[in-house]
Structure 1
């Protein structure tokens, strides 16, 4: 379970203040998949980073019960001079999982072939994302944080990614940022809409999708 307690976050860009979290309080139940919807720039990814602990709120607190992943698919923490294999083994040691088991899983899933043993700096953005998704899914967490991850790669890889993610949801929960209504319907139990720093939570994903659609039409 994840609790947001009066979480507030403001950015100042070019002298202008942008509130992405205005004293948000919410509970994400354990074992449930929660979609976070909202317009581009609403602060969805920032909210995910605060939940992960990689970004601090200005005030309030995020209380995490159980283990929570880094944002799934995030490739920014890979060391560019190390190979995909070396990065995978390093992450396995950090999280205390079996190094060989994680390496086998990632090598098979990410489909990088010989590139797996080349420096990450030589990877395309898609290759980095496939590596990051494989590493993320290869480690079991109580809650996965997901930022549009299954949009990576061709149709076949996206389908494989979603199938694997769905398997993980049989035993874990998730908080996921997505713009895909079909994905929300297929994967999520509940949903929230982030707008002007407020998070509107819905038990029924159709209600959240209707809210999100109205926002998108208003700005079209």
Structure 2
């Protein structure tokens, strides 16, 4: 269960304060993968970050008894002067038991396929290499909910298939909260949906395809 209570989020702009959400109250069901659907700028990624604890609301709170990942594939939190191995070790010590840290590091090293770069500073990596490391790191840990913001597969065709296979495996044992421009992916992986309308009104749908229809109709008008 993830319960959102009286959540308000706004940003200061040159034209005044822009409210993304005002006093949002909603409860997300347990054991269901949730699609976040709405136009660009509606607040989907903002809500995702707040659920993950990366961004904070102005007021209100998010209550849960479930474990929630950081956004899958997030590479912005890496320390550039540290190596890939050192970055992975740091995260593993936070999220894994002392006995499993070595196994987590080994999983990411094998999955990311960075070769000697795994022991080189992150600042020497290309964006693709950082994404591969970030995706592997996200998948190394077991969460009740994985936050997915567009990142589903990275790299060449073979590596993308490798990512897709692992993502499919995770979908059978955990739930997703997903933002994607691919409506097909939302329909494939999600059970229910939140539709964020033009007036930032949030509607809950028991059926993802119904939410997609509502979104498509709103964009057509």
Question: What's the TM-score, normalizing by structure 1?
Answer: 0.92
Deviation of 1:20 after TM superposition, in Å, equals 1.4
Whole-angstrom distance in 2 between the partners of 1:155 and 1:20: 37
Structure 1 residues 160 and 28: alpha-carbon distance in aligned structure 2, compared to 1, 3 A threshold: farther
Partner of 1:59: 59
Partner of 1:47: 47
**Aligned residue pairs, count:** 218
Partner of 1:193: 195
- Let me know the Cα RMSD of the aligned residues: 1.6
Contact in 2 for aligned 1:31/1:169 (Cα 8 Å): no
Contact in 2 for aligned 1:5/1:23 (Cα 8 Å): yes
Deviation of 1:151 after TM superposition, in Å, equals 4.9
Whole-angstrom distance in 2 between the partners of 1:164 and 1:54: 24
Contact in 1 for aligned 2:153/2:161 (Cα 8 Å): no
Whole-angstrom distance in 2 between the partners of 1:166 and 1:55: 28
Whole-angstrom distance in 1 between the partners of 2:65 and 2:182: 28
Contact in 2 for aligned 1:31/1:174 (Cα 8 Å): no
Whole-angstrom distance in 1 between the partners of 2:175 and 2:204: 16
Whole-angstrom distance in 2 between the partners of 1:215 and 1:109: 41
Question: What's the TM-score, normalizing by structure 2?
Answer: 0.91
Partner of 2:19: 19
Structure 1 residues 146 and 61: alpha-carbon distance in aligned structure 2, compared to 1, 3 A threshold: same
Unaligned 5+ runs, structure 2: none
Whole-angstrom distance in 2 between the partners of 1:141 and 1:107: 20
Unaligned 5+ runs, structure 1: none
Contact in 2 for aligned 1:34/1:174 (Cα 8 Å): yes
